[in-house]
Amino acid sequence: MKIAIGADHAGFVLKNLIAGQLRREGHEVLDLGTNSAESTDYPDYAAAVARDVAAGRSERGVLVCSTGIGMSIAANKVDGIRAAHVSSVPEAVLAREHNDANVLTLGARFLKEDPVPIVDAFLATAFEGGRHARRVSKFEAIEKENCRKFVPEGTKE
């Protein structure tokens, strides 16, 4: 699976740990930064990962910041993104099964569990569809009413 990954300075170390593990598992990882622990702004990385996933260049995204909350808020501003802030394996599974989440956000300073099983569960779990598909379609309707569609650079709407 192709996965876009990004972090701010607070999530830099954890992002690198996760990216390394994903590569060892055979995933193709697109690291969209940051590339140091120097202070930076998380919305820049959230937008880069979210746009990559929304454009279909990556199948899923993983974002890490201090709490995971800011990354989730920023990523969810991109049309087509359903970013879920998760801190446990059961939450990761439900984010996929019930919400068809396509971006996972983690809080580097607040995780109490090993993040690798959380990420693995997120990537391995399929969307259940059924009654959940109706609800996800309602997310999409809200986006259509309120969001400007993201058009990848070099393409036409």
CB atoms within 10 A of CB 82: 19
CB atoms within 10 A of CB 20: 12
Does 98 qualify as catalytic in the annotation? Answer: yes
**Which one of 9, 27, 98, 132 is the catalytic residue?**
98
CA-based nearest residue to 136, from 124, 128, 147: 128
Displacement of CA 118 from its chain's centroid (Å): 12
**Which one of 65, 85, 132, 147 is the catalytic residue?**
65
Q: How far apart are CA 40 and CA 2, in angstroms?
A: 25
Cα diameter, the chain: 45
Q: Which residues, listed in sequence order, are joined to residue 44 by a DSSP beta bridge?
A: none
Q: Which two tokens stand for residue 115?
A: 């993040």
Catalytic residue ranges: 65, 98
